[in-house]
Amino acid sequence: MLLYLRLIKLYLTMPYTTAPIEGLWIFEPRLFHDERGYFYESFNARTFEEATGFSRPFVQDNHSFSHYGVLRGLHCQLPPNDQSKLVRVVQGVVYDVALDLRKNSPTYGQYFGIELSSENKKQFFIPTGFAHGFVVLSETAELLYKCDNFYAPSSEAGVIYNDATANIDWLIPPQDIKLSPKDLLLKSIAETGLYF
């Protein structure tokens, strides 16, 4: 019986893999299909902590809807209101990016990007110390993300999407990118000296 329970736990556990930049994690849940459709566990605090070592509770869930070409980012909040995020897409496809802004990191100023979609069900964990952004690759997309700190307008910060140091390939023609007036005002890493 004990072996059976262990096998069930192993089967239910969401697989976790590290990204090329230390601290970033990719989650790919296991789906259980039958003739009715499918079921999957999208979040489990115990297995999440076991895999990542991250134990702060998530306190806010955000949901955004965007059209093709909309680029939101690169955003972060400064301490003491800095945020870790667990991001997933429930409709459509986005290219999701984390930019390393940790002062003593060997990958400071570098980014990692991943395609998140309603089809692949992947999730992306971005801890504090990173700026986050995404661009919509499909006609529309809905993105959900958990945060471990509350939104604090006074702590808002960010990096311009076309920062020369990061040199992010957003996977769509530059002329298709749509930014908010606020995001157009963001500065480069060199101009802000932004770090955690």
Q: Which residues contact 3 (CB under 8 A, 6 or more apart)?
A: none
First to last CA, the chain: 48
Active site residue 132: no
**How is 56-97 classified by DSSP, letter by letter?**
PPP-EEEEEEEETTBEEEEEEE-TTS---EEEEEEESEEEEE
Q: Which residues contact 20 (CB under 8 A, 6 or more apart)?
A: 112
Query: 75, 95, 111, 132: which one is catalytic?
Result: 75
Q: Is 77 in contact with 155 (CB distance < 8 Å)?
A: yes
Active site residue 67: no
Buried b (16+ CB within 10 A) or exposed e, 76-102: bbeeebbbbbbbbbeebbbbbbbbbbb
Q: Which of 97, 178, 161, 171 is nearest to 137 (CA)?
A: 171
Query: 95, 111, 132, 145: which one is catalytic?
Result: 145
Q: CA 106, 130, 114, 162 torsion: positive or negative?
A: negative
Q: Which of 160, 195, 162 is nearest to 75 (CA)?
A: 160
- The residues assigned a catalytic role are 75, 145
